[in-house]
Homo-oligomer: A and B are copies of this chain.
Amino acid sequence: MTKLSILTIAMTTVFSATAFAASEPIEIIPAAVITNPEKVELGKMLFFEPRLSKSGFISCNSCHNLSLGGVDALPTSIGHNWQQGPINSPTVLNAEYGLAQFWDGRAKDLKEQAGGPIENPKEMGFSHELAVDTIRSMPAYQARFANVYQNDGITIEEITDAIAEFEKTLVTPNAPFDKFLLGDKNAINSEAKAGYQLFKDKGCVSCHNGPAVGDLF
């Protein structure tokens, strides 16, 4: 018996549990895999950092409030100088699985998105240059950036990269529907199962598929 066939037998249980999921158009949300905890921690600090805004009052968390499911629970968001923005804040939870970012998909990924609100006059109202200057002025940030990025400067690319790395950890694995997809037929009730069947039969899944049900397609 070859090593490969032993492995195959050993993994049969795992495969049988995921075989159903593999044939489904909607995929589970996997748990976050953190490979660089220092970068994630730096990104977390920046996500909660109101000094990335002109006022020093608004952070990423103001509109993507992690206490409220990654949104602000308002019809449209409040920005710099109490301006009422034109859009409803999308959640940052599972946002990594969006095909693109912002409601109109104008940013290709979380890193590109993170730079937007900082310099939007109706949101954080700052500029990238001044935001970087502010972060650079703080020794605690200097040390953390030097450690994570192995250089002396701090750039907007590094700031948004770290925020994106933190946001990738904001996922919701093991929801009842994830468990259902993994083979636990009792994880959702019969109405939900019927709804999912209808969702597939009517062709919704041709656009809304993959992890996070094709979020922001």
A residues at B contact (CB < 8 Å): 45, 48-51, 55-57, 59, 62, 65, 67-68, 72-74, 78, 81-82
CB distance from A117 to the nearest CB of B (A): 15
When the two chains form their complex, are residues B78 and A55 in contact, meaning their CB atoms are under 8 A apart?
yes
Copies of this subunit: 2
Q: Report whether A74 and B48 are in contact in the complex, using a CB–CB cutoff of 8 Å.
A: no
Beyond A50-B65, A81-B82, A82-B81, is A74–B45 a contact (Cβ under 8 Å)? no
CB neighbours of A51 from chain B (8 A): 73
Residues of chain B within 8 A (CB-CB) of A59 are: 67
CA distance A177 to B49 in the complex (A): 28
Instruction: List B contacts of A49 (CB < 8 A).
Output: 67
In the assembly, what is the distance between CA of A162 and CA of B108, in Å? 43
Contacts of A56 in B (CB 8 A): 72-74
The residue on B at minimum CB distance from A57 is B78
Q: How far is the CA of A67 from the CA of B58 in the complex (A)?
A: 13
